[in-house]
Amino acid sequence: MTIAAPAHKRILLKLSGEALMGDDSFGINRATIVRMVEEIADVTRLGVQVAVVIGGGNIFRGVAGGSVGMDRATADYMGMLATVMNALALADAMDKQGLTARVMSAIAIEQVVEPYVRPKALQYLEEGKVVVFAAGTGNPFFTTDTAAALRGAEIGAEVVLKATKVDGVYTADPHKDPTATRYTKLSFDEAMSRNLGIMDATAFALCRDQKLPVRVFSIIKHGALRRVVMGEDEGTLVYA
């Protein structure tokens, strides 16, 4: 029997910090992170090279009240540290699942994780390791969506997979409007003109300029990541 080859050989998976919370109000839900790692392990066994950019909203949410009135740059640096914590938790869960993970940070914390160096990241991917990019771009005022677009372009990813709790982009909020329908695909220009809010404007513009497609899908759905990697109709594809 012939086994179908993956449609993508190298992917950049964008995980929000909130995706790690499960049903908790903040923090990391261990069962949730283990399930996500199992999905990632499944696609690596297909020979797909996987890099991950992770947000920090789940941890930063727990201290957000104290950040009111704080200087924006300071708050953003706190958020970067939260992404490092999430990256370490994700890498630990991967190691326990038999994956080899390397965390690379955009800010220097060499006693904890290694700094981001593009050639080293490419080497790790070629060796079959999962690379987890932490600390966003290393700059305040830029989101982890922008970091995903930037790292995806730098490593030559074929697609940025934006993992959410919703299985794609809809014409309206599917939780509020039962008539809302899912877009199978749409262009960057269409998404911007309709103000769909898929990613922040900087990230979206970078993906469009680099002709780096984005697929929005639900990380909650079992097997969804594998179906996306195999090129099946899952989520919403945004293309240049």
Binding residue per annotation — 144? yes
Binding residue per annotation — 57? yes
- Report the side by side order of strands in the sheet with 159-164: 114-115, 101-105, 130-134, 49-54, 10-15, 159-164, 214-218, 236-239, 185-187
Binding residue per annotation — 140? yes
Binding residue per annotation — 164? yes
Binding residue per annotation — 61? yes
Binding residue per annotation — 181? no
Give the up-direction half-sphere exposure of residue 233: CA atoms within 13 A in the CB hemisphere.
4
Binding residue per annotation — 187? no
Binding residue per annotation — 60? no
Binding residue per annotation — 27? no
| CA gap 9, 163 in Å, rounded | 18
Of 227, 238, 226, the closest CA to residue 199 belongs to: 238
Binding residue per annotation — 178? no
Binding residue per annotation — 189? no
Binding residue per annotation — 173? yes
Binding residue per annotation — 69? no
Of 51, 40, 45, 54, the closest CA to residue 130 belongs to: 51
Binding residue per annotation — 17? yes
Binding residue per annotation — 83? no
Indicate if the alpha-carbon torsion angle 225, 228, 233, 237 is positive or negative.
Answer: positive
Binding residue per annotation — 56? yes
Sequence-distant (≥ 6) Cβ neighbours of residue 47 within 8 angstroms? 6, 9
Binding residue per annotation — 156? no
Known binding-site residue numbers for ATP: 14-17, 57, 61, 164, 170, 173
Residues annotated in the binding site, as ranges?
A: 14-17, 56-57, 61, 76, 137-144, 164, 170, 173
Binding-site sequence positions for UMP: 56, 76, 137-144
